[in-house]
Amino acid sequence: MAPLSLFSVFVTFLLSLTPALSTNSEGNALHALRRRLSDPTNVLQSWDPTLVNPCTWFHVTCDSNNHVIRLDLGNSNVSGALGPELGELKHLQYLELYRNEIGGKIPEELGSLKNLVSMDLYENKFEGEIPKSLAKLKSLRFLRLNNNKLAGSIPRELTSLSNLKVFDVSNNNLCGTIPVDGPFATFPMERYLLPFSSLTLSSVNILPFYLHFMDY
Instruction: Kindly give the pairing relationship between strand 101-105 and strand 68-72.
Output: unpaired
Binding-site string for another protein from residue 22 to residue 41, where x marks contact by CB under 8 A and - marks none:
-------------------x
112 scored as a contact of another protein (CB under 8 A):
no
CB of 204 to another protein, least distance (A): 24
From the CA atom positions of the chain, what is the Rg in Å? 20
Q: What are the Cα distances from residue 63, in Å, to 54, 56, 68, 106?
A: 11, 12, 6, 25
118-147 footprint of another protein as x/- string (CB under 8 A):
x-x-xx------------------x-x-xx
Residue 167: which H helix or E strand, with range? strand 166-168
Is residue 55 close enough to count as binding another protein by CB under 8 A? yes
Closest distance to another protein from the beta carbon of 193 (Å): 7
- Min dist. Cβ of residue 59 to another protein (A): 6
Burial degree of 204 (CB within 10 A; 0-12, 13-18, 19+): exposed
Burial classification of residue 95, based on how many CB atoms lie within 10 Å of its CB (0-12 exposed, 13-18 middle, 19 or more buried):
buried
Query: Which one among 168, 169, 172, 183 touches another protein, defined by CB under 8 A?
Result: 168
To another protein, the closest distance from the beta carbon of 132 in angstroms equals 24
The whole-angstrom separation of Cα 81 and Cα 21 is: 27
Q: Can you give the binding site for another protein, defined by CB under 8 A?
A: 19, 41-42, 45-46, 48, 50-51, 55-59, 61-62, 64, 70, 72-76, 94, 96, 98-99, 117-118, 120, 122-123, 142, 144, 146-147, 166, 168, 170, 193, 195, 210, 212, 216
